[in-house]
Amino acid sequence: MQGHNCRHLLGELSEYIDGTLEARLCAEIERHLADCENCRVVVDTLNKTVYLYHATAAQDEVPEGVRQRLFKRLDLENLPEE
Amino acid sequence: MVEVKKSEVFSLEALRAGDRAEFARLVGANYQLIFRLAFRMLGDQQDAEDVLQETFIKAFRHLKDFDGRSSPSTWLYRIATNEALMLLRKQKPGLVSVDEPNQNDEAEQEPLQIVDWCCMPEQELMSTEARAHLEQAIDRLLLYLRLVFLLRDIQGLSTKETGEVLDLSEMAVKTRLSRARLRLREELSGYFGERMADLKG
């Protein structure tokens, strides 16, 4: 990540890994990645970073009793919910 | 990412008319999402539970003002985010700002850590210790970046929905998400780079 192109493309990488970047910029990034090992590492580790956070988010749990206390506070205990 | 029940459809008419059974359905479908966001923002279960309860009390009180332009969950996220920010401001007066700082050093994080740790075994990447580092890295983000990251990458909201919750343009959401992700990549590269060296050594 030292050259002019590396810095120039940095702000686009987040959208690139989401697959939402416009085609022209995607092509530009891919041309650059073919020649720049450092940027390939940055893109791969950025991708993995986002993947890891998605994976941990899926494991977030709501403690027992939270729902029951909420429904009680809202006076919704005896109402059908589904 | 957190599973969002996009298919959940509620009767706006019933909600606005104060139908408690319909409100119970709305609460049941959304309370987990709201609790998780509040917990990630506040880092304390009791605080998160207080925000959760306040969010739905306020929502019920203001149901007639809900115009249905955004989805009910986006609307609830908006109330919850404001509640959590109010609590944070009470706890740390003067320290809680969701605005972007003016200094240039808040621009794109230039990648300094160039280590390819992608191929580390999954059990290393998802170990208890690694997960604690992932959490700490989020906590170190400035609030204006952390909020966008939590809504987009942890809660799984779209760019548009995140903008609606935080009153930001889609462009601002994308820029902040990019900055947050690059900072987190840098933090994780430092940590996993060392772990990789330890494993080899």
User: Could you tell me the maximum CA-CA distance found in chain B, to the nearest angstrom?
Assistant: 67
Q: Is the pLDDT of residue A1 over 60?
A: no
Mean pLDDT across the stretch B33-53? 96
Question: The tokens 């403690």 sit on which residue?
Answer: A63
Please give the pLDDT value at position B8.
67
Q: How far is B70 from chain A (nearest CA, A)?
A: 22
Please tell me which residue, B162 or B107, carries the higher pLDDT value: B162
Residues B124 and B177: their CA atoms lie apart, in Å, by 26
What is the SS3 assignment for B48? Answer: helix
**Quick one: pLDDT band at residue A81, thresholds 50, 70, 90?**
low
Q: Which amino acid is at A56?
A: T
Please give the pLDDT value at position B12.
87
- DSSP code of residue B136: H
Question: The tokens 């359905």 sit on which residue?
Answer: B25
Which part of chain B has CATH 1.10.1740.10?
A: 12-91
CB contact under 8 A, A82 and B125: no
Chain B touched by A4 (CB under 8 Å): no
Alpha-carbon A11 to chain mean position: 15
Please tell me which residue, B55 or B105, carries the higher pLDDT value: B55
State the average pLDDT for chain B: 90
Mean pLDDT across the stretch A21-28? 96
**Which residue on chain B is closest to A60 by alpha carbon?**
B36
Q: Assign domain B12-91 to a CATH class.
A: mainly alpha
Report yes or no: B138 and B40 within 8 Å, Cβ to Cβ.
yes
Chain B touched by A32 (CB under 8 Å): no
Residues B27 and B59: their CA atoms lie apart, in Å, by 10
Report yes or no: B154 and A14 within 8 Å, Cβ to Cβ.
no
Residues A73 and B58: their CA atoms lie apart, in Å, by 12
Chain B touched by A76 (CB under 8 Å): yes
Task: Say which range, A67-76, B58-67, B179-188, has the weakest mean pLDDT.
Answer: B58-67
Please give the pLDDT value at position B103.
60
Touching A: B residues 120-139, CB under 8 Å: 125-126, 131, 134, 138
Question: The tokens 């085609």 sit on which residue?
Answer: A23
Q: Is the pLDDT of residue A78 over 50?
A: yes
Residues A6 and A8: their CA atoms lie apart, in Å, by 5
Q: How far is A68 from chain B (nearest CA, A)?
A: 10
**Quick one: pLDDT band at residue B6, thresholds 50, 70, 90?**
very low
Q: Is the pLDDT of residue A34 over 80?
A: yes
Measured in Å, how far apart are chain A's first and last C-alpha atoms?
Answer: 53
- The CATH number of B104-200 is 1.10.10.10
Please give the pLDDT value at position B107.
67
Q: Is the pLDDT of residue B1 over 60?
A: no
Q: Is the pLDDT of residue B166 over 90?
A: yes
For the entire predicted model, the pTM comes to: 0.91
Mean pLDDT across the stretch A45-62? 94
Please give the pLDDT value at position A5.
79
Report yes or no: B148 and B166 within 8 Å, Cβ to Cβ.
yes
Give the percent of chain B with pLDDT over 90.
74
Chain B touched by A60 (CB under 8 Å): yes
**Quick one: pLDDT band at residue B7, thresholds 50, 70, 90?**
very low
Q: Which amino acid is at B39?
A: F
Please tell me which residue, B93 or A17, carries the higher pLDDT value: A17
Task: Classify the phi-psi angles of A19: left when phi > 0, otherwise alpha if psi is within -120 to 50, otherwise beta.
Answer: left
